[in-house]
Structure 1
Amino acid sequence: MPPPFLAGVELTGNLALRPALEEDEAFIQLLYSLSRDDLRLMPGDSHFVESLIAMQYRAQRQSYSASYPRAYHLIVEKQGQQIGRILVDFSQDRMHLIDINLMPEARGQGSGTAAIKALQGAAAKAGSRLTLSTYHSNPGAKRLYLTLGFKVEQSDELTEKMAWPSL
């Protein structure tokens, strides 16, 4: 069953969003690990690098939990198979996309676009804005967000804050 803010919002491409369960933890950890090829490029012992990735994962979870204690943890499924996860915080005045991550083989297939469009639909239905941040080092994500109608509202050395609809 989807979270209440997604009730009645259509998803395309045989996709579903559902709340993450305890049994999804191994998948979520694997998904994070697969997104950290940057750390695997470091010289050194592979066991050390894998332990560093695991430590980074735990730090990210703690940071998200502290910053967004009421965030929804969602699993993205395609035809019943886990392909990604989304963290989204929903308050009265805005919905904030904290993080979205898809399995490498699911990227570039339209699943991320469909999931973000579903969040846009939920935000529009609630009369809220959908906000997010993206790193300057991820131009592909920025391109996707701009294509989906997001506008850059603020920029710093590392990130750009974007919103839909923009003010």
Structure 2
Amino acid sequence: MMLGRFANVRPALDEDDTFLFEVFCTLWERETALMPNPQLVQHFLRIQYITAERRFQVRYPQLERFVVLSDGEAAGRIYLHRTPAMLQIVELTLLPAYRSRGLATALIRDVMAKAHQTGQLVSIRAERRSELAAAICERLGFRMVVVDDQDRFFEWSPPSDRSKDSAGPVTEGPQDRGTLSSHSVP
């Protein structure tokens, strides 16, 4: 099932691989900034990208990959996975020039609206080091359900299903949920 009805995304095509790789590379800027060999950095990043894409395909066989658009320009990527009960934001990353404009918030709200129509939960992961990403999730009505060494996992329930929000405390440990990187916040 596609989410192509969103005005600000389009399905990712095979031809978008170079762009999706470029977006992926922005997630590693801090880690690769001090590496002295640019060719080695590109090789390292390509291996990381291929590994991540394969992991997504194995973990989420029905993964829906989209290119995020801003005024018709490619601005980032959003990967979604549906189950009957949940709509997971597996990955949401924007290019640096498009961050802090409210675009990620608008995308998350679009996903929430779609999930509301179908009565699904929405899940997302925010890096633990990103207070901003966590604050955005909480501001949008997500509640933290799991915390591990690296991430915080959030869920949102449609208003008619809010009784589930009070079911249980935040737990510690890894979970298979979506992601909002610290680089992808609005």
Relative to the length of structure 2, the TM-score reads 0.79
Q: Is 1:89 the equivalent of 2:63?
A: no
Q: Is 1:152 the equivalent of 2:141?
A: no
Shift of 1:6: 6.1
Deviations 1:105-163 (A, max 9, x none): 00000110110000000010110100111221222211111111111011111111110
Within 5 Å, give how 1:23-102 maps onto structure 2: 23-102=15-94
Moved more, 112-121 or 132-141: 132-141
Question: What is the rounded CA distance, in whole Å, between the counterparts of 1:6 and 1:155 in structure 2?
Answer: 32
Partner of residue 122 from structure 2, selected from 125, 130, 139: 130
Partner-residue secondary structure (3-state), 1:118: helix
For the Cα contact (< 8 Å) 1:153–1:163, is it kept in 2?
yes
Name the amino acid aligned to 2:94.
L
Structure 2, unmatched stretches of 5+, are 158-163, 166-186
Partner-residue secondary structure (3-state), 2:125: strand
For the Cα contact (< 8 Å) 1:39–1:53, is it kept in 2?
no
Moved more, 121-130 or 38-47: 38-47
For the Cα contact (< 8 Å) 2:123–2:156, is it kept in 1?
yes
Q: Which 4+ runs in 1 deviate beyond 3 A?
A: none
Relative to the length of structure 1, the TM-score reads 0.88
Shift of 1:31: 0.9
Structure 1, unmatched stretches of 5+, are none
Percent identity, aligned pairs only, is 20
Superposed CA RMSD in Å reads 1.7
Number of aligned positions between the proteins: 159
Question: What is the rounded CA distance, in whole Å, between the counterparts of 1:17 and 1:114 in structure 2?
Answer: 11
